[in-house]
């Protein structure tokens, strides 16, 4: 296939590199004036990947859109609406959203944002565990492609699978998107536990995190079991334990007081989940504790102590 990648950051540059390794023709399009794009133009490399000469680099979005049989989008979740509204024309090919988040001001899933902006354009999501630093060293992983169109899901998963990534077919777009976004919030909580020298509590965090997000997913019309798959529980190792996890590191830094300047999507997602908690009437204690720390400045130790030292209850009702 011909694949266009919109974005030039860490994940976008990896996607371009990966698509090239699986035999596709690739154009990467960054924002005009972007320092990350300029860096790639000068050296063909960043801290994560080195792009071969076969991958075209451009800041001409019309050219990128006209090139691809499929367009992969890899920008910050909160920038998606702005990007879609700025497109020079309506895409004529499927879009694949390669980021994890919920829109902060609305609580919408990113496929819903895309439908609002570009109604009728086929859209899929690419989620699951894995960090560019591991992939480029040849460490394989499994990921998920999901969409409302089973034929599109299967085509993308089959075309994009390679020796580094085995794709599974998703069958629950609501659960896949919600689970993928929410795992970043659990990652922030895991980082706070690291900062408090209490990593032994991560086991409880994982059990309870998956349970509360599964309840929300069911209320939203998705499947509870999706949350126990690759999109959420299957991504916990990469998010709750990996030194490469931005969300885990951000949570740790909020405890230690160290500055953290990288993007941690879980912060905005926690705000979105509070909106959904109210909308669907579902208690989300872990997400609420994380949001209290980042939104209201609560002490992390107090927030997590309140979370794990709640009144005794049956394990079934975690």
**Residue 270: closest CA among 251, 295, 245:** 295
| pLDDT confidence of residue 317 | 46
Is residue 183 flagged as an active site residue?
Answer: yes
Q: In angstroms, what CA-CA distances link 294 with 234, 270, 299?
A: 25, 9, 9
Q: What are phi and psi of 148, to 5 degrees?
A: -80, -5
Six-digit token pair at 175? 């659960």
Confidence tier at 316 by pLDDT (50, 70, 90): very low
Q: Which of 68-77, 96-105, 273-282, 300-309 has the lowest mean pLDDT?
A: 300-309
Six-digit token pair at 290? 């994380």
Residue-wise pLDDT tens digits, 148-171: 999 999 999 999 999 999 999 999
Q: Exactly one of 2, 183, 219, 313 is catalytic; which is it? A: 183
Say how far apart CA 39 and CA 48 lie, in whole Å.
Answer: 12
Confidence tier at 263 by pLDDT (50, 70, 90): confident
| pLDDT confidence of residue 155 | 98
> What topology is assigned to 174-317 in CATH?
1.10.1040
Q: Structure pTM?
A: 0.94
CATH topology agreement for domains 2-169 and 174-317? no
Question: What length does the chain have?
Answer: 318
216 has a pLDDT exceeding 80: yes
318 has a pLDDT exceeding 90: no
- Count of alpha carbons within 13 angstroms of residue 215, beta-carbon side: 18
- Count of alpha carbons within 13 angstroms of residue 42, beta-carbon side: 7
314 has a pLDDT exceeding 60: no
Say how far apart CA 312 and CA 24 lie, in whole Å.
Answer: 55
SS3 state of residue 185:
helix
Q: Residue ranges of the domains in the chain?
A: 2-169, 174-317
| pLDDT confidence of residue 32 | 92
Average pLDDT over residues 270-278: 98
| pLDDT confidence of residue 305 | 86
Average pLDDT over residues 192-215: 96
Query: Which numeric CATH code is attached to 2-169?
Result: 3.40.50.720
């Amino acid at each position: 296939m011909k694949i266009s990648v919109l974005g030039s950051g860490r994940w976008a540059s990896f996607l371009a590199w990966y698509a090239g390794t699986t035999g596709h023709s690739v154009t990467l399009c960054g924002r005009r004036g972007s320092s990350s794009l300029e860096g790639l133009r000068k050296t063909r490399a960043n801290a994560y990947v080195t792009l071969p000469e076969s991958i075209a680099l451009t800041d001409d979005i019309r050219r990128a859109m006209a090139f691809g049989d499929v367009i992969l989008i890899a920008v910050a979740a909160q920038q998606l609406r702005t990007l879609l509204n700025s497109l020079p024309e309506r895409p004529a090919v499927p879009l694949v959203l390669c980021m994890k988040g919920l829109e902060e001001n609305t609580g919408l899933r990113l496929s819903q944002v895309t439908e609002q902006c570009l109604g009728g354009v086929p859209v899929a999501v690419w989620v699951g565990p894995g960090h560019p630093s591991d992939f480029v060293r040849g460490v394989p992983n499994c990921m998920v492609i999901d969409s409302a169109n089973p034929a599109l899901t299967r085509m993308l998963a089959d075309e994009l699978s390679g020796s580094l990534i085995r794709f599974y077919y998703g069958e629950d777009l609501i659960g896949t998107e919600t689970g993928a976004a929410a795992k970043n919030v659990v990652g922030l909580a895991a980082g706070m536990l690291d900062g408090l020298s209490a990593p032994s509590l991560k086991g409880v965090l994982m059990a309870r995190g998956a349970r509360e997000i599964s309840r929300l997913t069911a209320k939203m019309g998705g499947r509870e079991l999706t949350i126990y798959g690759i999109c959420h529980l299957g991504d916990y190792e990469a998010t709750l334990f990996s030194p490469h996890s931005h969300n885990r590191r951000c949570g740790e830094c909020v405890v230690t007081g160290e500055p953290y300047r990288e993007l941690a999507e879980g912060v905005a997602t926690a705000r979105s989940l509070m909106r959904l908690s109210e909308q669907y009437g579902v208690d989300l204690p872990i997400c609420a504790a994380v949001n209290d720390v980042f939104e209201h400045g609560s002490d992390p130790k107090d927030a997590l102590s309140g979370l794990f030292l709640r009144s005794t209850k049956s394990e079934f009702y975690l």
